[in-house]
Amino acid sequence: MLKGKSAVVTGSTSGIGLGIARAFAGQGVNLMLNGFGDAAEIEKLRAGLTAEFGVKVLYDGADMSKGEAIAAFMKKAADGLGGVDILVNNAGIQFVSPVDEFPEAKWEAIANINLSSSFHTIKAALPGMKQKGWGRIVNIASAHGLVASPFKSAYVAAKHGQVGLTKSVALEVAEAGITVNAICPGYVRTPLVENQIADQAKVHKMSQEQVIREVILAAQPTKKFVEVEEVAALAVYLCGDMAKSITGTSIAIDGGWTAR
């Protein structure tokens, strides 16, 4: 059902975004990749997806912290792919600090990348989706879009904001054949989390294994990381026809974390 559609996945050079891009490619979806990294590695990734799945794959490294760059990025995607049917707002960063010591620049970067970029991409994507009478927007929020943890004020605020944006836009476009949903993963073992494991091990003077069980997965009842492929499969499901009545919602995929 998704074969021949086109998708923009922000922050898709790594982790969850890359997993979602792969899953879409497997469904025959043409792609615009985005994110940072080594140019040669990214080209290998791009060409590899095309070779493996026979879909068109473009890449643009637009910085999702820069609102003005996002409109141009979205136009490039629409021009190159014949419109944007599916938009996955996934790019995100983390920074951990007590709020009274939180660096202003980090606050702004998190607010821009984890929240405002979704506003800019959605604003650019909606006119084309409305014209086609079909669209899917999937915002990769977090369990931290539903509940808080200390020392992650910017991240928690931005992810709660992304959940609010999801609801509001879903209501606006409900009659236009467009759904808007948020996926709220618990801990997924990606580079974003690998860095936290290393940092926390130093802070707590623990081994990395201890940090994983006693700090990182303390709130996750299954005591297991969520797999990238599980999040990607949920994103694919939300874009399918059987999910056309699911809109304005936030789906936790968090090993029971937010059931507490």
CB of 170 to ligand NAD, least distance (A): 19
In the annotation, is 155 catalytic?
Answer: yes
Report if residue 124 touches ligand NAD, rule: CB under 6 A.
no
Strands 178-185 and 250-253: parallel
Minimum separation from the CB atom of position 71 to ligand NAD (A): 14
Closest Cα partner for 8 from 136, 160, 163, 115?
136
Choices 15-23, 72-80, 121-129, 203-211 (CB under 6 A): range interacting with ligand NAD:
15-23
Q: Which conformational region is residue 139 in: left (phi greater than 0), alpha (psi within -120 to 50 degrees), or beta?
A: beta
Least separation in angstroms between residue 259's CB and ligand NAD is: 16
Q: Please report, for the chain, how many H helices and E strands are present, in that order.
A: 9, 7
Name the 3-class secondary structure at 206: coil
Among the listed residues 7, 8, 9, 16, the single contact to ligand NAD using CB under 6 A: 16
Binding mask 81-120 for ligand NAD (x = CB under 6 A): ---------xxxx-------------------xx------
> Is 140 strand, coil or helix?
strand
Neighbours of 49 (CB within 10 A): 23
Q: Residue 37: helix, strand or coil by DSSP?
A: coil
For ligand NAD, the binding residues (CB under 6 A) are: 10-17, 34-37, 63-65, 90-93, 113-114, 140, 142, 185, 187-188, 190-193
